[in-house]
Structure 1
Amino acid sequence: MDPGIIGQAAGLFAVTNVDDILILALFFAQGAGHPGATSRIVAGQYLGFLGILLVAVAAGFGATFLPEPVIPYLGLLPLALGVKAAWQAWKNHRGGGDDPAEERSNAPEMLAVAAVTFANGGDNIGVYVPVFANTGLGGMSIYVLVFLVLVAVWCAVGRFFATRPVVAQVLSRWGHVLLPLVLTGIGLLILIEGGAFGL
């Protein structure tokens, strides 16, 4: 395996899943003291993320059939998602938006965790598709393998944070700023590296 691709995959996973750490921490905190909650949360996270990967890989294969000059323009998708996330964060800040992590009386169920993971990963799909389309089958396989390993790491980190409220509060405060910056940066990088608009 190419260490460069492994590093790129790890970096891409990290920057596109920063917000997942907070969500996982909230799920683990909610499941504290409930037997089997940890395994249900981990299974739900994997199920949701596998759904994200299936959609991204399928679209990545479809994107490889596009004319080569068109592929760099797929960077417009994460760029638009970054702008949308920034707009949403600004609206929530101005309007005192609702907390996305709603309190529940029961421990989280596997399908609920999977649904939240998949829904929250819509932005990830927009970022992964152009990357997968440009790496080919071998590179895409490495990305998928690294992502699946890192899902377990993310679950462990989320569980760790669930026991440290101060850290969870910091992520809650700045996660809405990091996500738009990262998405916009990835979109610009794809556009510039692909030479879109003569860049």
Structure 2
Amino acid sequence: MQFGKSIGTACSSFAITNIDDLFVLTTFFAEAATSPTLTPVKITVGQYVGFTVIVIISMIGFGASLVLPSEPIGFLGLLPILLGVWKLIDLLLPTGEGEENAGQLPDGQDGQDGGEKQQSHFLSSLKSILKVSMITVMNGGDNIGTYIPLFAQAKGPEIAIYVVTYYILLGLWCLAAFLIMKQRHVLRLAQRYADRVVPFLYMGLGMYIIIKSSCYPWSIKRIDVSSSSHPGKAIMAVVTTVLLLICIAAMLWRAKVKRGRLCPNGAEIEHSSDS
């Protein structure tokens, strides 16, 4: 085993499969500039959790590469698209949650004790970490497709070198994205336009994952093979359209319900102030 060659292989394979991850991290840090729940620490932890899942899948996947192809993972790119749509709906149809949270009393004066606040904070942190890790896994189709054959032809010590190098480089990747967003002019732009840009970044990220993974051509080919009429394109188009319309309708309904709950309270407040 050549130690230097193993490190070089690890660095090159990581760079090839994660150069686009800087875009993902920049998206997260742009959101963190204005989000009260998403922080750089949570982004980093989420990245490591998601990348750990990718490494685990890759290490067991080279023994079951025919059972677990990497292409279908690309369909998870629909989730960032839906996340971007949800943020866009919240931007166009604000529910007033931000103002409602801003008007809460200080700790210990809003009807919650310390234990409830700690539990709420823990759940919020866990949700943010899971969101980052989930999107990291979604964007890991090329990682899995590269790491599976790489691990398959490597020996035990070489795999250990690969994994350790990957984790070190992942930290440097997070640091690079964080330093980009720490630039004052970049930070000012992020704070001013993040709410408007982030939804489209998520939708772009989702489309990029789907296109990069070739999940649709892969599925269409599989469907066409089983039928002489080649219905793959029509089936995938109908299924995707119906799924997206159902999810978007559910989001609009939920936003409408939230606005309906807030409007009566606001009317009562206005009526009481007039009297």
Summarize the alignment of residues 27-46 of structure 1 with structure 2, pairs less than 5 Å apart: 27-32=28-33, 34=36, 37-46=39-48
Aligned to 2:140: 121
Matched, 1:145 2:146: no
TM-score by length of 1: 0.60
Identity of aligned residues (%): 31
The one-letter code of the counterpart of 1:124 is N
Change (3 A) 1:140 1:109: same
How far apart are residue 101 of structure 1 and its match?
7.9
Change (3 A) 1:100 1:161: farther
Structure 1 residue ranges (4+ consecutive) displaced by more than 6 angstroms after TM superposition: 98-101, 104-108
Of structures 1 and 2, the one scoring higher in RCO (CA 8 A, sep 6+) is 1
How far apart are residue 99 of structure 1 and its match?
6.9
CA contact (8 A) 2:37 2:128 kept: no
Summarize the alignment of residues 50-199 of structure 1 with structure 2, pairs less than 5 Å apart: 50-60=52-62, 62=63, 102=84, 103=87, 109-163=128-182
> Following the alignment from structure 2 to structure 1, what is the Cα–Cα distance between the partners of residues 82 and 169?
24
RMSD value over aligned CA atoms? 3.8
CA contact (8 A) 1:41 1:113 kept: yes
> Following the alignment from structure 1 to structure 2, what is the Cα–Cα distance between the partners of residues 9 and 101?
33
CA contact (8 A) 1:26 1:162 kept: no
1:71-127, CA deviations, whole angstroms, 9 ceiling, x for partnerless residues? 9xx9xx78xx6xxx9xxxxxxxxxxxx979835879981100000001110221011
Matched, 1:4 2:5: yes
> Following the alignment from structure 2 to structure 1, what is the Cα–Cα distance between the partners of residues 151 and 18?
17
Change (3 A) 1:101 1:13: farther
Change (3 A) 1:160 1:13: same
1:146-165, CA deviations, whole angstroms, 9 ceiling, x for partnerless residues? 00111101101121233465
Change (3 A) 1:143 1:101: farther
> Following the alignment from structure 1 to structure 2, what is the Cα–Cα distance between the partners of residues 159 and 17?
16
Aligned to 2:20: 19
Structure index of larger Rg: 2
1:145-196, CA deviations, whole angstroms, 9 ceiling, x for partnerless residues? 1001111011011212334659xxxxx89xx6xx96xxxxxxxxxxxxxxxx
> Following the alignment from structure 1 to structure 2, what is the Cα–Cα distance between the partners of residues 123 and 138?
23
What is the aligned length?
A: 147
| Structure 2 residues without counterparts, runs of 5 or longer | 75-79, 91-97, 99-124, 190-200, 213-275
> Following the alignment from structure 2 to structure 1, what is the Cα–Cα distance between the partners of residues 60 and 158?
15
